[in-house]
Amino acid sequence: MIFGGLLGIATLAGCGCPSFATLNVQDPDGVADPTQIDIVSEAAAAFVEWTGRDGVCVDTIELTNSADAVYEDAVGAYYGPGEPIRVEVGTDSWLPGIVWHELGHALDDVEQIALSHGNAFPTQSVNDHYSGAEVRIDEAFAEACEEGPPPFALLYALEHACGEMDLRDQAMQDLVFRRYSEPSGIGVDDSAHWEPLATLSADIYDVQPFADADGTVGIIGASYIAEGYGYRYSFHRMALSTTDTGLPSLVEDGVVDYSTFAGDARFVPSLDGQIVVQLVADSGELSLVTPDFATGAWDPLDLPGIVRVLGDAGVVSFEGGNVWWEDYGDGFGLQGSTLSGESLPIGQFDDGEARPPYAYSAAGGLYSMVRDTQFDEYAVQRWDDAWSEPDLPRGFFPQGGSAAGDEIAYAGRLGFRTTTQATLYKPAGGEWSIASRTCGGWMEPLLVGGQWYGLDRSGTGLYRWVP
């Protein structure tokens, strides 16, 4: 937690006030390593570039093991014009955020943004340590600065398509990060939308597509209900068939049940078209099985070493003939292997948290998320023979691509007053666009037989994507 701005609002000294030209990072007690000094220096330089100001009447950022002698929990402190900002480096805190938070206090001291635009900075998230309306608004403003610039390219598109932008995001764009820009934009398509197709028989989660050898395609999904001291899980198989009108219809043609008192049952992403279920027995023993919908039985799936991986990490993806999982060892990382146990050389992300691949694009590459050390948010990375950072707008999450080359993504911005969600898509060789007719809805996309389908957030409605 960051406790800053404890001394109230000061007045800019006008003449003699230091500018950003003299801003420097100092380590007077030798408590920081070179990497920490570089991170703080780069964070301060980014704030200068993004805000486009001449200065905030502060010329020194001091690195320390104790940011404030009175408030022991403080990891950053701003004491007023002309005084050094203090940043604590002896913790696991996110250093760029501390720097931006305290520079935000200094900027607010100069320009009085928080008080003059108080309705844009709600104080619900402010720690109870802060008392008094003005102090709490000041802290809410600094917390907004702490996050860095919002994903403006996404916000522009959401505002154009859906007609709303959170007041705090708008204020940060107009008043604080006025020079920040992103290399990629997002268009708006008024015609693309999700078309209602069917209502499912139960609340479904862990939805996966399937394809049989005879050409039958459809979706599978799990639901559960309380049963005594445990749960009964139902795994549903629903085939998609074409009607006389040429539109697909959904037919439920199989349900397999599994009851457990202390265990768990869930789908893991399909193994090259094969349905895989992870079972945790009452004793805690873990296994992988495939459901036989014709007989209602469970068939064991023998993958040496993979069950151990599941037990250690708990989050696994089967994609592209390989298995991927999180590694909580030395830092956070993404690990992968072939089904025979051969390691995949994708490397370890020592500087941030990586998630298993959640989208495999047949059109080119494997998408994953990596904790962005600058913005403290998940950034998209793509792996073909090595990891790369595609030139994509911030703030959305690719979900996969078809063999034809089109891709689907989520877009969302959760504000204090608004919750704006929409679907993005990219036709083969095209640019990312928001489908304006999907504003407010959040679909879980599925690629079934070359066609995109979507399951609404409640898990009961199935939709067909119409570009």
| CATH, residue 39 | 1.10.10
Query: 265 and 412 share a domain?
Result: yes
**CATH number where 195 lies:** 2.120.10
Indicate the pLDDT class of residue 144, thresholds 50, 70 and 90.
Answer: very high
Q: Which residue has the higher pLDDT, 312 or 135?
A: 135
Structure tokens at 54: 């001449």
Question: 192 in a domain, yes or no?
Answer: yes
Query: 303 and 231 share a domain?
Result: yes
Give the whole-number percent of the chain exceeding pLDDT 70: 68
Query: 136 and 206 share a domain?
Result: no
- For the residues of 135-188, what is the DSSP string, one character each? HHHHHHHHHHHHT-S--HHHHHHHHHHHS---HHHHHIIIII-TT---S---EE
In whole numbers, what is the pLDDT of the chain averaged over residues? 76
Average the pLDDT over 141-165 and give the result: 88
Query: 101 and 201 share a domain?
Result: no
Question: 332 in a domain, yes or no?
Answer: yes
Structure tokens at 168: 């705090």
pLDDT digits (tens, 9 = 90+) for 157-171: 888 888 878 889 899
Indicate the pLDDT class of residue 236, thresholds 50, 70 and 90.
Answer: confident
Contact 44, 58 (CB under 8 A): no
Query: 85 and 220 share a domain?
Result: no
pTM summary value:
0.74
pLDDT digits (tens, 9 = 90+) for 330-370: 444 556 666 666 666 554 444 444 444 444 444 445 555 55
Backbone φ and ψ for 370, nearest 5 degrees, come out as -135, 140
Q: Which residue has the tokens 């409640």?
A: 458
Question: 390 in a domain, yes or no?
Answer: yes
Considering 254-268, 332-346, 401-415, the range whose residues carry the highest mean pLDDT is 401-415
Query: 232 and 130 share a domain?
Result: no
Q: What is the pLDDT of residue 114?
A: 94
Q: What is the pLDDT of residue 358?
A: 46
Average the pLDDT over 430-453 and give the result: 83
Q: What is the pLDDT of residue 111?
A: 95
Question: 159 in a domain, yes or no?
Answer: no
Query: 138 and 251 share a domain?
Result: no
pLDDT(287) > 60:
yes
Query: 127 and 202 share a domain?
Result: no
Domain count within the chain: 2
Query: 129 and 202 share a domain?
Result: no
Nearest to residue 61, comparing CAs of 36, 71, 324?
36
Distances (CA, A) of 9 to 23, 74, 80, 120, 188: 21, 19, 8, 19, 43
Question: 162 in a domain, yes or no?
Answer: no
Query: 326 and 421 share a domain?
Result: yes
Q: What is the pLDDT of residue 331?
A: 43
Average the pLDDT over 1-25 and give the result: 60
Query: 235 and 370 share a domain?
Result: yes
Indicate the pLDDT class of residue 297, thresholds 50, 70 and 90.
Answer: confident
Helix (H, G, I), strand (E, B) or coil at 118: helix
- Is the dihedral angle over the CA atoms 240, 242, 247, 253 positive or is it negative? negative
pLDDT digits (tens, 9 = 90+) for 175-230: 999 999 887 788 999 899 998 888 877 777 767 777 777 888 888 877 878 777 77
Question: 156 in a domain, yes or no?
Answer: no
- Which of 148, 172, 198 finishes a domain? 148
Contact 455, 444 (CB under 8 A): yes
- Which of 148, 172, 202 finishes a domain? 148
Which of the residue ranges 43-47, 443-447, 450-454 would you say has the lowest mean pLDDT?
443-447
Domain membership of residue 25 as a residue range: 20-148
Question: 160 in a domain, yes or no?
Answer: no
CA Rg, the chain, in Å? 26
Query: 110 and 196 share a domain?
Result: no
Average the pLDDT over 102-119 and give the result: 94
Q: What is the pLDDT of residue 249?
A: 77
CA triplet 256, 260, 264: central angle to 5 degrees?
85
Question: 153 in a domain, yes or no?
Answer: no
Q: Which residue has the higher pLDDT, 189 or 317?
A: 189
Nearest to residue 47, comparing CAs of 81, 98, 84, 94?
98
- Which of 148, 172, 200 finishes a domain? 148
Contact 224, 232 (CB under 8 A): yes
Residue 290 contacts by C-beta under 8 Å, 6 or more apart in sequence? 274, 275, 276, 277, 298, 299, 301
Which of the residue ranges 138-142, 368-372, 426-430 would you say has the lowest mean pLDDT?
368-372
Which of the residue ranges 36-45, 58-67, 71-80, 276-285 would you say has the lowest mean pLDDT?
276-285
